[in-house]
Amino acid sequence: MSKKWLLLIPKILISAALIVFVLSKVDLAAVKARALQVAPEMLVLAAAVFLLQYVACAFRWRSALVPLGAQVRFPRLLHLFYIGNFFHQTLPASVGGDAVRTYLVYRDGVSLRTAISAIMLERVATVAALVFMVAAIQPVFMGRVGEAAGAWIVPVAGVGVAAVIGGIVFIALLDRIPETFRRGKIMAALANLAVDTRTIFFSPRRALTAIGSAALGHATLAMAVFVLARGLNLAVGPIDVLALFLPVLLISALPISVAGWGVREGSMVYAFGLIGVAPADALVMSVLYGFFTLAVALPGGLVWLASGTRAKDVAAGLGKAETPGMAHPGD
């Protein structure tokens, strides 16, 4: 059995176990009935919002590439992001979406160091934006939850913000460790990543652009959930969705399940239950969210096929490419 399957099987088991657990706690008949009651026009609007989120994601990727010297037109990045997201959403056991994007932008002439650093720092910006948004929205939301929940929300949010800032500073200083510990290709790559981290996150304008574009993507996803909630005629406001869904998004991003399935459903039922949303309604929102995430990504497969790139080309291209330790333009 290959290593990738050994890593995937525990995720499948965790997702399956969590889904079974959630289903055991809800009325399946009520879930079915509520799913059939969603307003069709809201489903169409939700799909449009999900597609709009790709624009924000492509801009987020660009905000990490351009400061590192890459010159790629935005329409091309949007095209490549759509292909990468198809792999990310549909093939958890195969080549990851980030690897596909790395190869495709490298094939377009971006140095491998820049391509890899941009993907990694884009992810840092994504997590940072999510944590900052969760921390910022909680004080506004505190009146909607009980004292028991409010007592731990703010401290946890504060710890998250401190952890993100500390993590960015730590990465940015990896090239400052003693020379004795900076030997080998891996450490050379980490040293280069530190330089690239300072290039983006130690510049207020660049950091704001990267984190701001990531925040726009998160807000777009929250808007899609709000649209689904309105389609179910739930008494849920935009602030409610931002305050409850963004922590769910953060938790479901943990690499412990398949595309967040199971983790997201359990978290949605718990989180929205804090403001009185019935478990069946929260579960319907979560399943619809997962469905749309997958459905809007599927056409990316056709875009990929039309590009003439094969999955084995990606693996071969990354294997033959220059090492991550090379300098990007301007070094």
**DSSP for 48-81?**
HHHHHHHHHHHHHHHHHHGGGT----HHHHHHHH
Distances (CA, A) of 280 to 86, 119, 176, 273: 29, 37, 52, 10
pLDDT at 148: 59
Which of 50-54, 62-66, 164-168, 253-257 bottoms out in mean pLDDT, i.e. has the lowest? 253-257
The answer, yes or no, to whether residue 280 has pLDDT greater than 60, is yes
On the question of pLDDT at 214 being above 80, the answer is yes
CA dist 45 and 7 (Å) reads: 36
Mean pLDDT of 193-219: 95
Residue range 292-314, pLDDT digits in tens = 999 999 998 888 888 776 656 66
Task: Give the model's confidence band at 9: pLDDT under 50 very low, under 70 low, under 90 confident, else very high.
Answer: confident
Check residue 143 and give its pLDDT. 63
Residue 4's pLDDT band, with cuts at 50, 70 and 90, is low
| Mean pLDDT over each residue of the chain, to the nearest integer | 85
Q: What is the mean pLDDT of residues 74-89?
A: 91
For residues 104 and 118, the answer to whether their CB atoms sit within 8 Å is no
Please answer whether residues 253 and 263 qualify as being in contact, where contact means their C-beta atoms are separated by less than 8 angstroms.
no
| Residue 183 in this model has a pLDDT that exceeds 80 | no
Tell me the pLDDT band of 323, cut-offs 50, 70 and 90: very low
pTM for the full model? 0.85
Percent of the chain with pLDDT over 90: 49
pLDDT of residue 307: 78
Query: Is-contact 131 250, C-beta < 8 A?
Result: yes
Q: What is the CA radius of gyration of the chain?
A: 21
pLDDT category, 325, cuts 50, 70, 90? very low
Residue 39, pLDDT > 70, answer: yes
| Exposed / middle / buried, residue 161 (Cβ in 10 Å: 0-12, 13-18, 19+) | middle
Q: Between 326 and 289, whose confidence is greater?
A: 289
Domain range annotation of the chain: 26-320
Residue range 7-19: mean pLDDT, rounded: 83
Long-range contacts at 89-92 (CB < 8 A, ≥ 24 apart): 89/259, 89/293, 89/294, 89/297, 90/294, 90/297, 90/298, 90/301, 92/8, 92/11, 92/258, 92/259
Write the CB contacts of 69 (distance below 8 Å, at least 6 apart in sequence). 111, 114, 328, 329, 330
pLDDT of 11? 83
Highest mean pLDDT among 42-51, 185-194, 250-259: 42-51
pLDDT digits (tens, 9 = 90+) for 151-173: 666 677 788 899 999 999 999 99
Q: By C-alpha distance, which of 66, 107, 101, 120 is closest to 303?
A: 101
Where residue 12 falls among pLDDT bands split at 50, 70, 90? confident
